[in-house]
Amino acid sequence: MAELLLGNVEESVTDEEINAFLQKYGFPPYDNISRIAGTGSRPAALLHYANVSDEVLRVLQPRVHNMFWNDRTISVQILPVRETD
């Protein structure tokens, strides 16, 4: 399972808009999305990919990292795999 953190995304942007934006740049559809409220001006979205490796996301990340989208410069980070028991 891989996770992608999309930072500085306006809270009014819908999950569908995020999915369409990322797919436009070659990302696979995510399986689940969680919103992370920002303290002030930098809310984020955490995208979960059940059947995608973090290596695949690392190849795609430069396509959208630091891109100006919806009046904000977004940041994209691949989160390390977390161990679960």
Segment 47-55 mean pLDDT? 93
Q: Is the sign of the CA dihedral 13, 57, 51, 42 positive or negative?
A: negative
| pTM for this entry | 0.88
Domains of the chain, by residue range, sit at 14-32+55-66
Segment 50-76 mean pLDDT? 95
**What pLDDT score was predicted for residue 80?**
83
**What pLDDT score was predicted for residue 40?**
67
> Cβ of 32: how many Cβ atoms within 10 Å?
12
Cα 72 off chain centre by: 14
**What pLDDT score was predicted for residue 41?**
75
